[in-house]
Amino acid sequence: MMRFELLGPVRAWCEDEEVALGTPQQRAVLALLLLHEGHLVETDTALDVLWGERAPRGGRGTVRTYVYRLRPLLGGAAAIESASNGYVLRLRDATLDVTGFLRLTEQGYEAGRHGDPGGAARSLRQALGAWRGQALAGIRGVFFESERDRLEELRLTALEELHAAELQLGERPGLTAELRAAVAAHPLRERLHEQLMLSLYRSGRRADALAVYREARRTLREELGVDPGAGLARLHTRILHTDPALDIPQLPSAAPPPAASTSSSPNSSAPRASTSPPPAPPSSAPWPVPSELPPDLRAFTGRAAEIAELTAALDDPSGTPVAGVTGLGGTGMTTLAVRVGHLVSDRFPDGRLHADLGADGAPADPVEVLGRFLRAVGVDRPAATLGGRAAQWRTAVAGRRLLVVLDNADSAEQVRPLLPASPGCAVLLTARRRIVDLPGVHWHRLGVLPPDDALELLATISGRRRVYAEREAAERLVAACSYHPLSVGVAAARLAARPSWTIDEILAQLEDDLRQPVVMHEDCAIVDRPFRDAQERMDTRQRAAFHLAAVPDCRRLTPEAAAALLDLPVDRAKALMEALVDLHVVETGPGGYRYLGLVKAYARRQAPAGPGRERALRRLLRHYLADGLVGGSADPADVRAVRDQVAALTQAAPAPVPERAARRRHTHRRGEPQEQTAGAPSPRPLSGPRPDKSSPSGI
């Protein structure tokens, strides 16, 4: 059985093993055929989709080559049949996530039409679970942008219908937080604002519901110059007048006896009224309700899928969920954790605690962190030892519903004593790398922003009107920043500080700064800091591999190519590259390993100059040429780029000096100019990576 995925990156799986689908263009051909599964795709259509008006002269042959390479990858699970003027893909023993999503959404809509909100909610939630990010991620072109928009509209409609069904069923834990995340990601969809207002109103938060309306009205006026529509305005009026029809109908069941209310276990399925007091703390005095989360960032942009995943991971009132975010520094792990903490705060009425476990670069002592936590929840005299404080902590939070946010976690030994054991509590932590010996953590690897979100971040910080007036230049700028949030923020700050400059002038300055052998500008030093921090956590072999693997001007390195470059056996080279993946300085995927442009530029500046570079490039070129002789899969553009690098180094090598000329130069009188060979070629610098139009380049 094979399964194909388009609701996220274009991927294929045979059982539980991912199938390498080749280059982005080849994956685009497969995506095009899958979107038209069972129907003819003409070759002219494929040419237009892949290249538009710039189709190469041999484009038809290239399409045939892509189809030829795809057929054996599909095995017997699917077949690409040739027609007189195109191709037809037919699924046999295979599934497509788009088809499953459409089938489940239709089931959900049908259940809703027949008055079954529970069935509608189940089908729609299952349908939305098929999404793994932006549809058709990594595939470019006007056609795919249109398909992406169409599929996203279908997803948002299903999401709105799911929320409508759940509101019809009554409040469930986490619904308000999910609606807040949806509104933040799609502030112009009025129905989401209506649903959030209704959820807040039914939770007894009338003032917050009215505040949502005011924010929606302000956003619509600023962005579109219009007032809220009739539905949103009507709901606002009904909330102002406390319309009883908005309330959830009460079930005709007797209230539980008081004794059951106070002694029910956290796993009890009996409903709890939203107005009931929280369980009593260990002492008879009321306990403090700490609220330690840092302020939410107003310029927060995107991350809707990540927010939805993390809020869902924390939604387990019968247990103590722990969710973790890991990634390269500067991708916004802390900002995301703080945003999620604020969004789910209504689930944790007994407090929200926060600790930076890596402040100033030194791991925080869990004894000190526990002492502060204990005092925050009302324990005046913490024990002297770590074990004593951990026991006090577990006792103090028993029966409470607390959220604990741990930023910059370093190790399991540091984190484990800080974890509450009481069901109803939750922990959200960030770490520079996954803490493998801390079991039970739902880890999420945070990458760079999608291009549109990076552009929106630039506009939010430096001014929307200015950015969208120079949109093409702004898109080049965020691409030069590798869509890395910290780097985009630095570029936006520089843009805001130079109101008379064009965006292209800012881009040229940034590129010039980072081409220098030593970065001197403070902005660029800030951009480099996460890469420098990651480098400091490497051992000697990892650091050498990090530097040398950045030297070739190729987009990706297979394990075999990395082995040739590093002059190591394949298994050892792969282990080193995987270690760099764990440190988030190298990314892995179909086709091998690749650097973000900014990371590659940094690593290349750190690589020592000398004959080692040339020898490594020659080994890689020999591997590519040998691979090509046996029908290998090396990208021809990568082979040409490395060949050009080697040729440039060869031309730059000094010619041998004849013995007589050497003696004459040695005895040349001081102060007289020496002759210089005319036309001697200057060496091609290796200080910056070759621009890569298929992936973000460094600045």
Q: For 44-92, write each residue's pLDDT tens digit.
A: 999 999 998 888 888 999 999 999 999 999 988 999 999 889 999 999 9
Indicate whether 685 pLDDT > 70. no
pLDDT digits (tens, 9 = 90+) for 221-230: 988 888 899 8
Contact 230, 191 (CB under 8 A): no
Q: Where are the alpha helices (DSSP H) in 279-416?
A: 304-313, 333-343, 366-376, 386-396, 412-415
Contact 432, 326 (CB under 8 A): yes
pLDDT greater at residue 163 or residue 637: 163
Residue 289: helix, strand or coil by DSSP?
A: coil
Please give the pLDDT value at position 70: 94
Least confident of 191-200, 203-212, 327-336, 583-592: 583-592
Find, among 78, 101, 79, 104, the residue nearest to 1 by Cα. 78
The arithmetic mean of pLDDT across residues 172-197, rounded, is: 89
Amino acid making up residue 359: A
Indicate whether 518 pLDDT > 70. no
Q: Dig out the tokens for 439 from the structure.
A: 């079991």
Confidence of residue 635 (pLDDT cuts 50, 70, 90): confident
Indicate whether 382 pLDDT > 80. yes
pLDDT digits (tens, 9 = 90+) for 286-296: 467 888 888 88
Please give the pLDDT value at position 171: 65
Indicate whether 496 pLDDT > 60. yes
Pairing of strands 426-431, 322-327: parallel
Please give the pLDDT value at position 520: 52
Task: Please return the burial class of 522, using the count of CB atoms within 10 Å of its CB with bins 0-12, 13-18 and 19+.
Answer: exposed
The arithmetic mean of pLDDT across residues 347-365, rounded, is: 85
The arithmetic mean of pLDDT across residues 339-356, rounded, is: 89
In whole angstroms, give the CA distance from residue 699 to residue 696. Answer: 9
Please give the pLDDT value at position 270: 33
In whole angstroms, give the CA distance from residue 697 to residue 484. Answer: 11
Q: How far is CA 464 from the centre of its chain?
A: 23
- Which string of DSSP letters, residue by residue, matches 118-131? HHHHHHHHHHHTT-
Q: How far is CA 636 from the centre of its chain?
A: 29
pLDDT digits (tens, 9 = 90+) for 424-476: 899 999 998 899 888 889 999 999 999 888 998 988 888 888 888 888 888 98
Least confident of 59-68, 405-414, 642-651: 642-651
Please give the pLDDT value at position 510: 77
Task: Please return the burial class of 418, using the count of CB atoms within 10 Å of its CB with bins 0-12, 13-18 and 19+.
Answer: buried
Least confident of 83-92, 392-401, 480-489: 392-401
Amino acid making up residue 661: A
Indicate whether 251 pLDDT > 80. no
Indicate whether 609 pLDDT > 50. yes
Indicate whether 38 pLDDT > 50. yes
Residue 24: helix, strand or coil by DSSP?
A: helix
Give residues with Cβ within 8 angstroms of 407, minimum separation 6.
Answer: 333, 334, 337, 354, 355, 356, 357, 358, 429, 430
Q: What are residue 457's phi and psi, to 5 degrees? A: -65, -45
pLDDT greater at residue 192 or residue 84: 192
Indicate whether 219 pLDDT > 80. yes
Please give the pLDDT value at position 517: 60
Please give the pLDDT value at position 672: 37
Confidence of residue 511 (pLDDT cuts 50, 70, 90): confident
Indicate whether 546 pLDDT > 90. yes
Residues forming beta bridges with residue 354, ordered by sequence position: 405
Please give the pLDDT value at position 500: 85
Instruction: Quote the Cα angle for 645-649-651, to 5°.
Output: 115
Question: What percent of the chain lies above the pLDDT cut of 90?
Answer: 38
DSSP state of 53: G
Global pTM exceeds 0.85 = no
In whole angstroms, give the CA distance from residue 434 to residue 307. Answer: 19
Contact 6, 97 (CB under 8 A): yes
Find, among 89, 84, 94, the residue nearest to 66 by Cα. 89
Confidence of residue 273 (pLDDT cuts 50, 70, 90): very low
Would the CA dihedral through 108, 112, 116, 122 be positive or negative? Answer: positive
Confidence of residue 669 (pLDDT cuts 50, 70, 90): very low
Question: What percent of the chain lies above the pLDDT cut of 70?
Answer: 84
Please give the pLDDT value at position 41: 95
